């Protein structure tokens, strides 16, 4: 089984947003939303040691995706090839996963009322094509492929040229979008746009920590009471006085 | 009333008195089956370890039965919508019977005896009390408590289900709907366990279980378990009784009924026939299309060449395809037989003419012929009549069918004004 | 997943099924009282809401059955015939059929049932239909262009309103139940109106 990953070469990215436009067109992303976006970090440091980068953000298809467990209907899942997907037929639009994502890579589509995000262009992969952002990138800054293919470009870039993940000490869930840079731009991005702690909405928290145990206790207690009554009934014998 | 005469318990245990209307029995079992399906599919839908409460093998087994999780969800929603619709219909047409204030006070509200009964009942089941139970009405306090809980929870379950199914409101609304749906169902389930136990396992309530099948309970059971209700029944019986009607089976009564059937029952029969037609044949019921085929067939016998090349009739007369090999052709024969049998059974078959008081039968015949001719033209222009387009097309939600229906009713209501001398 | 319905039948089974389904169609039409022109036309004078009640309860029952079947995958709706919409001929045809209905007292299906129960006016209506369809077939080539106007294909309400079949089915059912309720209120809104505002007769 493959393990898909993406590498973005930050030394080549010119911030032209062609990837965002191609992605929006490919997947009918409504205005104001995006599956992938390009965010400038702005210049940091003191002259002449200035650093700046374009953060090409999208779903990271994490090794341990924090968005899967909060989904109440099982619409969000991780496929065998590592791609984290949303099944729109199962999604009810509760938004639990949107709050859970440390990279803000998910959005609730106001038209379909379902959650949407980058799926590494799974539809195009099935047809043997590369993701739309990769083929469109004007600076050829994006690479996509199988991380387990030792002869493939991704393996070479990640392990040979040591592309970096955007992680922090607090949030390390194994993102599979890697970044190449000459002056450690990945660290700069992690500084300016740090992955945030996965959030659980109050409803999800309330459900898993309070309602579920309470419900199980209530049903269990009822069952226990009835079991006691049943044994009592067996001991005293059934009365047939009414029939 | 007097209770001077000693009660004959032997006779009372044999004599059955009516407790439940057949509509309630049907609703009860429909509800039971739907709940069983919804609980099973609903439990299998919750896969995340955060919320899942059934073992993984159960979730996987149920999912496999339905083929995919998408099918499972679709089924859960479909059965839920059916359930909401049935209850909505009962609520709208039966609120006077089931939801009226007096009915609720009698069948749901708890009184002082009920509270006593609850205390003693629980203690005695656990073997901690031998006190006699206070007399109960038509439903005992336990049943009332369950009904109260169900009345409170059902609307919440329905509304939250609809919110999830149709994504109503913001993400926060949908998110809370999931939690509330789960919580309210859990409350009902714990009550449901007691309800099922009392009905199916608890020996003293066995007649109550059978009353949900037959609608009847032994009089002795009513005397002992629902004493206040038994007193009411006795008071009713002691008023001068009408001479007993000769017993006749329900089916026979409905078949030979002199009056027309109540509209909704006829509509139900018609709707089920229409549904069966879609399922078996793949198209709806109709009439005018059959007429057209009969005409095309006659024409093809008289002038085969002309019929086959005519721009209109040629559509029906095609080489290698028998003109009459069509659903509507045979269906119309069935309609004639079915209409005759129904009218004959009800004593309605009679050579007669249905006409308004101000016109003669002869005028009526001429008007009927003219009306038939205009209808025939209209039906073919619209590619279907009231049956073929409005009824059958309406059931598959065809846009043209609804436009046609509006036009038919518009012309009918308008024409009714000008033709009032014909009918009134 | 392959669907069970609609069935694929041999010729013999097809004819038998057609006859039986027709039998029940005729039976229930007669039971509803639709073999009587007086009962049918009373709808248009707001005196009897039977036509509306029977027709819409039948539509709702069949519609919910189909919706349920297609949601569960038992029915392949792609195999079920959905009439093509031709807006203008269908509206004009509807107006003509409605006029014929109030003039002649029946519509094509009900006239067959009326004739089957011995109603001579029903028989004349049936003869009229044959004449009308025959005449129409002869002149159809002349008005063929009009006949194709407003063509929208097999358009359904859910496509028209860009929503799902379930939502439309639910709305139609809700509207129908509302209409039933209105019809039940002292035999319809017209009676209520007359009772409230009309002169006492």
Contact A92/B at CB under 8 A: yes
As a whole-number percent, the residues of chain C with pLDDT over 70 amount to 89
Beta carbons of B190 and A93 less than 8 Å apart: no
User: A164 with A238, same domain?
Assistant: no
For residue C169, list chain B residues with Cβ-Cβ distance below 8 A.
397
Neighbours of B325 (CB within 10 A): 12
Query: What SS3 class is residue A164?
Result: strand
Block residue for tokens 């006492």: C200
With cut-offs at 50, 70 and 90, classify the pLDDT of residue C190.
low
Q: How many CB pairs under 8 A join B and C?
A: 568
The pLDDT assigned to B318 comes to 83
Residue B360, phi then psi, degrees to nearest 5: -85, 160
Block residue for tokens 């609304």: B173
With cut-offs at 50, 70 and 90, classify the pLDDT of residue C2.
low
Test the B interface: residue of C5, C7, C28, C89 with most B CBs within 10 Å = C28
- Cα–Cα distance list, A157 to A19, A81, A147, C173 (Å): 20, 19, 10, 60
Question: Which residues, at least 6 apart from C167, have a Cβ–Cβ distance to it below 8 Å?
Answer: B166, C158
The pLDDT assigned to B153 comes to 93
- Cα–Cα distance list, C85 to B302, B373, C108, C156 (Å): 33, 23, 20, 9
Q: Which of these ranges, A100-104, A204-208, B333-337, has the smallest mean pLDDT?
A: A204-208
User: Which residue, A192, A211, A229, sits at the end of a domain?
Assistant: A192
Give the residue from chain B lying closest to A236, CA to CA.
B127
Which residues between 5 and 44 in chain C have a beta carbon less than 8 angstroms from any beta carbon of chain B?
A: 5-7, 9, 11, 14-15, 17-33, 35-39, 41-44
Write out the two tokens for C184.
């039940």
Chain B nearest C-alpha distance from C154 (Å): 7
Strands (E), chain C: 85-86, 151-153
Beta carbons of B48 and A223 less than 8 Å apart: no
Residue B356, phi then psi, degrees to nearest 5: -70, 160
- The secondary element (H helix, E strand) that includes residue B216 is strand B216-218
Residue B154, phi then psi, degrees to nearest 5: -55, -50
Burial B404-414 (b: 16+ CB within 10 A, else e): bbebbbebbee
Q: Is the pLDDT assigned to residue A8 strictly greater than 90?
A: yes
Instruction: Decide if B408 contacts C106 (C-beta within 8 A).
Output: no
Test the C interface: residue of B342, B420, B421 with most C CBs within 10 Å = B342
Question: What does B107-157 look like in DSSP terms, one character per residue?
Answer: HT---HHHHHHHHHHHHHHTT---PPPPP--SS-HHHHHHHHHHHHHHHHH
Write out the two tokens for B280.
């078996």
Per-residue pLDDT tens over the stretch B378-400: 999 999 988 889 999 999 999 99
User: A207 with A162, same domain?
Assistant: no
User: A205 with A109, same domain?
Assistant: no
Query: What SS3 class is residue A57?
Result: strand
Per-residue pLDDT tens over the stretch B174-197: 999 999 999 999 999 999 998 888
Instruction: Decide if A49 contacts B49 (C-beta within 8 A).
Output: no
Which residues between 48 and 107 in chain C have a beta carbon less than 8 angstroms from any beta carbon of chain B?
A: 49-50, 53-69, 71-73, 75, 77, 79-87, 89-107
Beta carbons of A226 and B194 less than 8 Å apart: yes
Q: How does DSSP classify residue A196?
A: P
Question: What does C135-163 look like in DSSP terms, one character per residue?
Answer: HHHHHGGGGHHHHTTTEEES-BHHHHTTS
For residue B202, list chain A residues with Cβ-Cβ distance below 8 A.
233
Strands (E), chain A: 4-9, 37-40, 54-57, 76-78, 84-86, 107-109, 114-116, 142-146, 177-180
Give the residue from chain C lying closest to B281, CA to CA.
C6
Per-residue pLDDT tens over the stretch B194-220: 888 888 777 777 888 888 888 888 888
As a whole-number percent, the residues of chain A with pLDDT over 70 amount to 97
Q: Which residue did the predictor score with more confidence, B5 or B411?
A: B411
Residue A82, phi then psi, degrees to nearest 5: 90, -10
For residue B333, list chain C residues with Cβ-Cβ distance below 8 A.
19, 22
Per-residue pLDDT tens over the stretch C92-142: 999 999 999 999 999 999 999 999 999 999 999 999 999 999 999 988 888
Q: How many CB pairs under 8 A join A and B?
A: 125
- Cα–Cα distance list, A202 to A72, A74, A115, A210, B187 (Å): 14, 19, 19, 11, 21
User: A49 with A162, same domain?
Assistant: yes
User: A160 with A214, same domain?
Assistant: no
User: A17 with A128, same domain?
Assistant: yes
Which domains are delineated in chain B?
18-237 (1.20.950.20), 251-351 (no CATH), 354-424 (no CATH)
Per-residue pLDDT tens over the stretch A10-41: 999 999 999 999 999 999 999 889 999 999 98
Scanning B167-249, the segments in alpha helix (DSSP H) are: 171-196, 206-214, 219-225, 227-238
First to last CA, chain B: 53
Distance CA B348, CA B353 (A): 13
User: A187 with A229, same domain?
Assistant: no
Number of folded domains that form chain A: 2
The pLDDT assigned to B19 comes to 83
Give the residue from chain A lying closest to B198, CA to CA.
A226
Mean pLDDT of the region B123-144:
83
User: A64 with A85, same domain?
Assistant: yes
Sign of CA dihedral B1, B3, B5, B11: positive
User: A56 with A170, same domain?
Assistant: yes
Block residue for tokens 């592309």: A163
Per-residue pLDDT tens over the stretch B244-298: 555 566 677 788 888 899 899 999 999 999 999 998 898 999 999 999 999 999 9
Write out the two tokens for B378.
């209209």
With cut-offs at 50, 70 and 90, classify the pLDDT of residue B166.
confident
User: A181 with A208, same domain?
Assistant: no
Per-residue pLDDT tens over the stretch A198-229: 988 888 988 988 888 889 999 999 999 888 88
The pLDDT assigned to A243 comes to 40
The pLDDT assigned to C3 comes to 67
Block residue for tokens 């559509």: B315
Contact B24/C at CB under 8 A: no
User: Which residue, A169, A192, A215, sits at the end of a domain?
Assistant: A192
Q: Which residue did the predictor score with more confidence, A192 or B254?
A: A192
Q: Which of these ranges, B33-42, B218-227, B337-346, has the smallest mean pLDDT?
A: B218-227
Query: What SS3 class is residue A137?
Result: coil
User: A185 with A223, same domain?
Assistant: no
For residue B165, list chain C residues with Cβ-Cβ distance below 8 A.
166
First to last CA, chain C: 65
- Compute the CA torsion angle B331, B334, B340, B341 (nearest 10 deg): -140
Report long-range pairs for A16-22 (Cβ below 8 Å, ≥24 apart): A16/A138, A16/A139, A18/A136, A18/A137, A18/A138, A19/A56, A19/A132, A19/A133, A19/A136, A19/A137, A19/A142, A20/A133, A21/A136, A22/A132, A22/A133, A22/A135, A22/A136
Beta carbons of A113 and B167 less than 8 Å apart: yes
User: A37 with A64, same domain?
Assistant: yes
Residue C152, phi then psi, degrees to nearest 5: -125, 5
Which other chains touch chain A, taking contact as 3+ CB pairs less than 8 Å apart?
B
For residue A228, list chain B residues with Cβ-Cβ distance below 8 A.
126
Distance CA A81, CA A146 (A): 9
- The secondary element (H helix, E strand) that includes residue B18 is strand B16-18
Range of the domain at A206: 201-243
């Amino acid at each position: 089984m493959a393990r898909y990953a993406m590498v973005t070469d930050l030394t080549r990215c010119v911030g032209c947003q062609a990837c965002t436009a191609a992605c929006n067109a490919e997947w009918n992303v409504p205005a104001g939303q995006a599956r992938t976006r390009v965010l400038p970090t702005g210049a940091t440091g003191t002259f002449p040691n200035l650093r700046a980068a374009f953060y090409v953000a999208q779903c990271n298809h994490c090794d341990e995706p924090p968005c899967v467990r909060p989904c109440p209907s099982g619409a969000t899942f991780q496929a065998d090839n590592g791609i984290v997907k949303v099944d729109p037929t199962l999604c009810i639009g509760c938004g639990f996963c949107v709050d859970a994502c440390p990279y803000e890579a998910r959005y609730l589509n106001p038209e379909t009322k379902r959650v949407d995000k980058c799926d590494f262009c799974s539809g195009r992969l099935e047809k043997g094509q590369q993701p739309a952002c990769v083929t469109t990138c004007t600076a050829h800054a994006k690479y996509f492929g199988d991380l387990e293919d030792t002869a493939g470009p991704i393996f070479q870039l990640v392990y040979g040229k040591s592309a970096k993940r955007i992680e922090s000490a607090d949030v390390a869930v194994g993102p599979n979008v890697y970044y190449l840079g000459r002056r450690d731009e990945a660290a700069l991005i992690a500084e300016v746009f740090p992955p945030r702690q996965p959030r659980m909405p109050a409803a999800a928290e309330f459900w898993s920590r309070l309602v579920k145990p309470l419900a199980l206790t209530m049903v269990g207690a009822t069952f226990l009471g009835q079991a006691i009554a049943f044994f009592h009934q067996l001991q005293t014998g059934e009365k047939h006085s009414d029939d | 009333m007097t209770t001077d005469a000693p009660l004959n318990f032997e006779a009372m245990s044999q004599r059955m008195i009516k407790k439940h209307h057949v509509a309630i029995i049907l609703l009860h079992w429909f509800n039971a089956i739907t709940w069983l399906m919804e609980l099973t599919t609903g439990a299998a839908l919750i896969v995340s370890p955060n919320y899942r409460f059934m073992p993984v093998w159960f979730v996987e087994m149920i999912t496999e039965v339905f083929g995919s999780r998408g099918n499972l969800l679709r089924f859960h929603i479909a059965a839920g919508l059916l359930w909401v619709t049935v209850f909505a219909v009962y609520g709208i047409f039966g609120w006077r019977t089931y939801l009226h204030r007096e009915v609720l006070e009698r069948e749901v509200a708890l009184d002082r005896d009920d509270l006593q009964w609850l205390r003693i009942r629980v203690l005695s089941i656990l073997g901690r009390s031998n006190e006699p139970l206070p007399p109960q009405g038509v439903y005992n306090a336990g049943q009332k408590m369950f009904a109260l809980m169900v009345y409170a929870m059902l609307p919440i379950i329905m509304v939250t289900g609809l919110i999830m199914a149709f994504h109503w409101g913001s993400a926060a609304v949908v998110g809370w709907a999931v939690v509330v749906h789960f919580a309210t169902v859990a409350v009902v389930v714990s009550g449901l366990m007691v309800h099922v136990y009392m009905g199916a396992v608890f020996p003293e309530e066995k007649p109550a279980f059978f009353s949900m099948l037959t609608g009847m309970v032994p009089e002795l059971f009513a005397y002992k378990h629902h004493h206040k209700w038994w007193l009411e029944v006795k008071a009713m019986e002691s008023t001068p009784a009408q001479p007993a009607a000769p017993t006749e089976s329900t089916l026979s009564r409905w078949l030979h009924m002199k009056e027309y059937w109540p509209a909704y029952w006829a509509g139900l029969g018609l709707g089920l026939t229409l549904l069966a037609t879609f399922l078996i044949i793949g198209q709806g019921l109709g009439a005018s299309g059959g007429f057209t085929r009969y005409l095309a067939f006659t024409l093809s016998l008289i002038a085969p060449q002309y019929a086959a090349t005519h721009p209109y009739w040629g559509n029906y007369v095609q080489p290698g395809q028998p003109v009459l090999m069509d659903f509507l052709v045979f269906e119309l024969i069935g309609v004639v037989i079915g209409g005759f049998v129904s009218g004959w059974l009800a004593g309605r078959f009679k050579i007669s003419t249905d006409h308004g008081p101000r016109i003669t039968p002869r005028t009526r015949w001429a008007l009927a012929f003219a009306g038939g001719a205009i209808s025939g033209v209209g039906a073919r222009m619209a590619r279907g009549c009231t049956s073929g387009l409005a009824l059958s097309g309406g059931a598959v939600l065809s846009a043209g069918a609804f436009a046609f229906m509006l036009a038919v009713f518009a012309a009918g209501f308008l024409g009714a004004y000008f033709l009032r001398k014909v009918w009134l | 997943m392959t669907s069970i319905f609609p069935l694929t039948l041999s010729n013999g089974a097809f004819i038998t099924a057609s006859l039986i389904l027709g039998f029940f169609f005729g039976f229930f039409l007669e039971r509803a009282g639709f073999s009587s022109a007086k009962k049918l036309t009373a709808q248009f004078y707001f005196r009897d809401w039977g036509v509306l009640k029977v027709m819409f309860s039948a539509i709702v029952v069949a519609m919910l059955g189909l919706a349920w079947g297609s949601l569960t995958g038992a029915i392949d709706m792609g195999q079920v015939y959905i009439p093509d919409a031709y807006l203008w001929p269908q509206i004009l045809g509807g107006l003509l059929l409605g006029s014929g209905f109030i003039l002649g007292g029946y519509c094509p299906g009900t006239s067959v049932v009326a004739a089957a129960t011995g109603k001579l006016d029903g028989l004349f209506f049936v003869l009229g239909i044959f004449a009308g369809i025959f005449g129409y077939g002869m002149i159809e080539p002349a008005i063929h262009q009009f006949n194709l106007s407003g063509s929208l294909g097999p358009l359904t309400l859910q496509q028209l309103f860009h929503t799902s079949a379930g939502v439309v089915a639910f709305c139609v059912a809700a509207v129908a139940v509302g209409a039933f309720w209105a019809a039940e209120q002292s035999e319809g809104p017209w009676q209520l109106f007359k009772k409230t505002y009309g002169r006492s007769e």
